[in-house]
């Protein structure tokens, strides 16, 4: 449905996007995630014809949307967009929602009906006559969503729609996104810097970094098999360490990390510089004495370097020659009498080590 | 001191009894300046929109020029219009000199720069996300402009008030092109509040000056009060 | 998009024309048969309100509307030269002659005269009371130029008829106006404004000034200034009305202009002029010119013969 081909965008002398390529299918929820300033908003604005790309093409249903000046209005009218900071037109809520319909010359009775339905959908029935500027941020964002949906767009673009909202409002908006996609089959492109939101909503995720998509894939792929160490760090892989492959055979390898040897599954060959990504959930911590053998796995002795609280858990960092972090419940920390400086062993399977090529910036 | 008090008493009497001469002058002032303001608004808004949303070389310099013209001295405008519409001037055959129409033209020219400039400020003051939202909702260029105006309506209203205030309070151009004529018919006279105050003061008719001054002040304050009220609603 | 822009521009222009047209018509409710007469008059005449007395009579008799612009004689003559008015009413024989000779004006008629007076503070610091005008001016200048004196002379300084007369007196007294008078010290100040305003200014400064008697009397109630010099041939002040030459400006309203000039020298109006102000000031502001043509040295035709 939407094809991005080598799209780039420069503002004066600052390159924001450089070679963005992706395909987004009809009816898909596609999340663009990436750190602040990665160009997520710029990309969405290019798709919505609010800006023109400096290079590359954006096609919708095969039409180069920036080349077709004559059709730009009808192309733009295929899409609805919700912005990070919703614009409240200085009038009633109902009129705010009706704007797009008025632009399309809809009749008064149609407008009334559709606006009412839209208000119902976003759970704001009865708010129609209220002044839009009196709404809370969450309510206004729902109005913005209703405003974008009332015109029944084929594509809904959402630019960090929940960035400034409280958790309850975030949940409501997320529910609506899923509901809209399910009920109307709307193709949704949502940008977010919250990778978990991407995970919750998206069929596929594109990780936008350094001007391009570092990885495009299902949430599971992106989280468990990050394409490089930057993606790994961004999607919350706590342990990302660099090393060199010292032995490799039959899809398994031994990687030297600062003198410590780690077994991993990978097809990299000897001498290659690689990066190991190990999710903290996959690392077990045990008192040094109680460490049991782990077939084909890794048991690394070390001392506890730090313990820091993390919600109902504790984040325990062990120095095994390089730092490794794991997450343990408070109870486990107490039971195992883990203290700062305690000798422990960290163990994890070779399968839980995801190896990517080391990239140096 | 006594004269001043006496002046105010007489001024109050002129206003309370709705002295026909004083009222006619006040009404004429309003009619002329309002017409000029409407004209200038009709010109300034499209002009301001074109400059604000347009992209053309020299746009920045044009805005600077307009801002410089805010302080256009009224007598210069008066002189310019006088030269243009005097019988020997290029538009002399229209016989506009010493008519209310001439005053309307002069006041329109006078307030056009500030109204255009303030329109630009009003439009550029609209939140960029409002603009994006309008486009994303599928606005045509015209629908976009109309809706931006709607969003900027209070600022534009204030612009109109500023224009009217400047038009009704200027004296230099009014006296040069109007001639401060007191004719027997309302429409042929060109005596307005400011020129009348100027004349009456020079002729020593202090009470009339004070009365006219109070009315002028009341109109100016009234307009601003009305605008503020609307804006706070 | 371009067509739409064009359309918008066209719409604005149409609106503009409509509004111009409307103001044009609404501001002019006078029916077509009611003719407009534009007069440029010297301020000394305007400020006495003589014309305010006469215009309604004229408007009634001739079904016309009189529009009067008051300005100094210099400015008024300029309006006449530009053809911006139909009738000129001024008081400066020398410049009138030039104006007529240049073909801008025709049919001059003298309708009134009076005298200029030198007025000043009652204390009369320059001691000019009862002197001839030339001697009085010399005395004002001399005392004015002495160090520490508070003698001030306020001049109209606006190329008006009164200003012309003042310059003539300086000349007659043997001074070069621009060299010996203008800019010769703080004692000589130019107001650059009308007669009434100049009198008010002289009053504020307790200064001397030259005024026509009409305006002075009309303002006397508000002034502390007294008449100090009122005798001397040079003080004669003659008012005339003339038509702007219709051959120069074809669309000047020559018929009603002619009517106005003839109206001013008509017997009834002459009587009106002679008695104007008597009830208020105890003496007339003007003398009717009709029977005094010899005394004031103008041709009989200029006071008696209506324009044919």
Q: pLDDT tens, A66-111?
A: 988 888 899 999 999 999 999 999 999 999 999 999 999 999 999 9
Domain chopping of chain B, boundaries: 2-232
In this complex, do B136 and A147 lie within 8 Å of one another by their Cβ atoms? no
In the predicted structure, residue B220 carries a pLDDT above the cut 50: yes
Question: What is the per-residue burial (b if ≥16 Cβ within 10 Å, else e) of B104-132?
Answer: bbbbbbbbbbbbbbbbbbbbbebeebbbb
- Chain B residues in contact with C29 by the CB 8 A cut-off are 185-187
> What would the mean pLDDT of A275-291 be, rounded to a whole number?
82
CATH of domain B2-232: 1.10.3720.10
How distant, in Å, are the alpha carbons of A19, B39, C277, C279 from that of C55? 86, 34, 16, 20
Which two tokens mark A163? 């960035």
In the predicted structure, residue C30 carries a pLDDT above the cut 50: no
Assign a CATH topology to domain C35-112+238-304: D-Maltodextrin-Binding Protein; domain 2 (3.40.190)
**How is chain C split among helix, strand and coil, in percent rounded to 5?**
50, 20, 30
DSSP C241: E
Q: In chain C, which residue ranges form alpha helices assigned H by DSSP?
A: 2-26, 43-46, 50-62, 73-82, 93-101, 133-145, 161-172, 195-205, 213-219, 254-265, 267-275, 278-281, 293-296, 300-304
* Residue whose token pair is 């008799």: C61
In three-state form (DSSP H/G/I as H, E/B as E, the rest C), the secondary structure along B88-102 is: CCCCHHHCCCCCHHH
**For the purposes of burial, counting CB atoms within 10 Å of the CB of A90, is it exposed (0-12), middle (13-18) or buried (19 or more)?**
middle
d(CA A99, CA A195): 33
Count chain A–chain B contacts defined by CB atoms under 8 A.
60
Q: Where are the beta strands (DSSP E) in chain A?
A: 2-11, 14-24, 29-33, 55-60, 63-64, 79-82, 155-159, 187-192, 204-209, 212-217, 239-249, 252-257, 260-265, 273-278, 284-287, 298-310, 313-319, 323-329, 343-348, 353-357
Q: Which chains touch C (3 or more CB pairs under 8 A)?
A: B
Q: Which CATH class is domain C115-235?
A: alpha beta
Angle between helices B153-169 and B141-151 (to 10 degrees): 70
Complex ipTM over 0.90: no
Q: How confident is the model at residue C280 (pLDDT cuts 50, 70, 90)?
A: confident
CATH of domain A2-230: 3.40.50.300
The minimal CB distance from C38 to the residues B39, B93, B98 is found for B98
Q: How confident is the model at residue B34 (pLDDT cuts 50, 70, 90)?
A: very high
Q: Where are the beta strands (DSSP E) in chain B?
A: none
Percentage of residues of chain C with pLDDT beyond 90: 57
Name the phi and psi angles at C14, rounded to 5: -65, -45
d(CA C7, CA B141): 14
* Residue whose token pair is 């009434």: C196
- Position C29 scores a pLDDT of 43
The minimal CB distance from B138 to the residues A87, A90, A104 is found for A104
d(CA A155, CA A46): 14
Domain chopping of chain A, boundaries: 2-230, 237-357
In the predicted structure, residue C20 carries a pLDDT above the cut 50: no
Q: In terms of CA atoms, which chain B residue is nearest residue A148? A: B137
d(CA C120, CA C208): 4
Q: In terms of CA atoms, which chain B residue is nearest residue A81? A: B136
Domain chopping of chain C, boundaries: 35-112+238-304, 115-235
> What would the mean pLDDT of B116-135 be, rounded to a whole number?
93
Q: Which chains touch A (3 or more CB pairs under 8 A)?
A: B
Q: Which CATH class is domain A237-357?
A: mainly beta
pLDDT in tens, C161-191: 899 999 999 999 999 998 899 888 889 999 8
> What integer best gives the mean pLDDT of chain C?
86
A2-230 and A237-357 share one fold: no
Q: In terms of CA atoms, which chain C residue is nearest residue B45? A: C12
In the predicted structure, residue A215 carries a pLDDT above the cut 90: yes
DSSP H or E stretch at residue C154: strand C153-155
């Amino acid at each position: 449905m939407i094809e991005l081909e080598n799209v780039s965008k420069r503002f004066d002398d600052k390159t924001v996007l450089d070679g963005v390529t992706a395909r987004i299918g009809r009816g898909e929820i596609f999340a663009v995630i990436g750190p602040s300033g990665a160009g997520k908003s710029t990309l969405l604005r290019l798709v919505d014809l609010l800006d023109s790309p400096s290079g590359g093409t954006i096609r919708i249903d095969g039409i180069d949307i920036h080349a077709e000046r004559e059709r730009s209005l009808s192309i733009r009218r295929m899409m609805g967009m919700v912005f990070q900071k919703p614009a409240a037109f200085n009038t009633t809520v109902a009129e705010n929602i009706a704007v797009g319909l008025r632009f399309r010359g809809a009749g008064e009775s149609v407008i009334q009906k559709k606006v009412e339905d839209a208000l119902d959908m976003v759970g704001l029935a009865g708010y129609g006559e209220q002044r839009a500027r009196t709404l809370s941020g969450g309510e206004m964002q729902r109005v913005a969503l209703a405003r974008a949906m009332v015109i029944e767009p084929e594509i809904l673009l959402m630019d960090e729609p929940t960035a400034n909202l409280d958790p309850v409002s975030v949940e409501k908006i997320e529910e609506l996104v899923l509901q809209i996609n399910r009920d109307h089959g709307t193709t949704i492109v949502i940008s977010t810097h919250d990778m978990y939101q991407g995970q919750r909503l998206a069929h596929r995720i594109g990780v936008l970094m350094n001007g391009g998509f570092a990885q495009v894939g299902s949430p599971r792929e992106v989280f468990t098999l990050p394409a490089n160490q930057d993606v790994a760090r961004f999607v919350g892989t706590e342990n990302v360490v660099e090393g060199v492959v010292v032995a490799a055979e039959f899809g398994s390898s031994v990687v030297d990390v600062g003198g410590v040897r780690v077994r991993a599954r990978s097809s990299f060959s000897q001498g290659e510089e690689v990066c190991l990504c190990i999710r903290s959930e996959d690392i077990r911590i045990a008192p040094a004495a109680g460490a049991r053998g782990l077939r084909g796995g890794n048991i690394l002795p070390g001392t506890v370097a730090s313990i820091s609280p993390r919600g109902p858990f504790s984040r325990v960092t062990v120095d095994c020659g390089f730092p490794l972090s794991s997450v343990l419940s408070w109870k486990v920390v107490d039971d195992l009498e883990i203290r700062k400086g305690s000798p422990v062993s960290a163990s994890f399977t070779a399968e839980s080590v995801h190896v990517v090529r080391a990239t140096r910036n | 001191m006594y004269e001043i008090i006496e002046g105010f008493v007489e001024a109050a009497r002129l206003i309370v009894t709705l002295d026909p001469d004083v009222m006619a002058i006040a009404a004429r002032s309003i009619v002329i300046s309002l017409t000029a303001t409407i004209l200038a608004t009709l010109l300034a808004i499209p002009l301001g929109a074109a400059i604000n949303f347009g992209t053309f070389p020299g746009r920045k310099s044009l805005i600077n020029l307009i801002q410089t013209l805010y302080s256009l001295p009224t007598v210069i405008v008066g002189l310019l219009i006088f030269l243009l519409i005097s019988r020997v001037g290029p538009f002399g055959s229209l016989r506009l000199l010493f008519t209310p129409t001439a005053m309307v033209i002069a006041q329109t020219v006078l307030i056009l720069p500030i109204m255009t400039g303030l329109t630009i400020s009003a439009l550029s003051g609209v939140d960029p996300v409002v603009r994006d939202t309008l486009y994303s909702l599928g606005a045509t260029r015209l629908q976009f402009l109309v809706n931006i105006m709607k969003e900027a309506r209070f600022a534009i209203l204030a612009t109109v008030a500023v224009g009217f205030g400047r038009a009704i309070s200027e004296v230099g151009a009014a006296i040069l092109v109007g001639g401060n004529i007191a004719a027997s018919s309302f429409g042929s006279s060109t005596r307005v509040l400011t020129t009348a105050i100027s004349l009456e003061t020079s002729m020593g008719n202090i009470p009339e000056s004070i009365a006219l001054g109070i009315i002028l002040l009341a109109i100016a304050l009234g307009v601003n009060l009305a605008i503020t009220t609307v804006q706070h609603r | 998009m371009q067509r739409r822009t064009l359309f918008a521009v066209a719409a604005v222009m149409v609106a503009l024309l409509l509004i111009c047209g409307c103001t044009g018509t609404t501001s002019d409710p006078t029916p077509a048969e009611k003719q407009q007469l534009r007069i440029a008059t010297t301020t000394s005449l305007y400020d006495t309100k003589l014309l305010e007395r006469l215009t309604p009579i004229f408007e009634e008799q001739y079904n016309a509307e009189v529009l009067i612009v008051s300005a100094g004689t210099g400015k008024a003559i300029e309006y006449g030269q530009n053809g911006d008015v139909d009738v000129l009413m001024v008081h400066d024989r020398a410049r009138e002659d030039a104006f007529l000779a240049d073909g801008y004006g025709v049919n001059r008629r003298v309708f009134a005269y009076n005298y200029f007076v030198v007025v000043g503070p009652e204390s009369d610091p320059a001691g000019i009371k009862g002197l001839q005008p030339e001697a009085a001016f010399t005395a004002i200048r001399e005392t004015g130029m002495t160090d520490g004196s508070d003698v001030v002379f306020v001049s109209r300084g606006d190329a008006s008829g009164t200003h012309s007369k003042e310059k003539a007196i300086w000349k007659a007294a043997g001074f070069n106006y621009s060299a010996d008078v203008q800019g010769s010290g703080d004692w000589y100040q130019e107001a650059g404004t009308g007669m009434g305003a100049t009198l008010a200014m002289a009053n504020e400064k307790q200064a001397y000034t030259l005024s026509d008697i009409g305006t002075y009397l009309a303002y006397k109630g508000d002034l502390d200034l007294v008449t100090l010099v009122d005798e001397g041939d040079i003080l004669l002040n003659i008012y005339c009305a003339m038509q702007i030459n219709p051959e120069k400006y074809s669309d000047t309203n020559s018929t009603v202009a002619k009517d106005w000039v003839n109206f001013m020298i008509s017997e009834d109006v002459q009587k009106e002029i002679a008695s104007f102000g008597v009830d208020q000031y105890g003496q007339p502001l003007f003398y009717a010119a009709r029977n005094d043509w010899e005394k004031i040295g103008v041709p009989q035709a200029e006071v008696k013969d209506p324009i044919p």
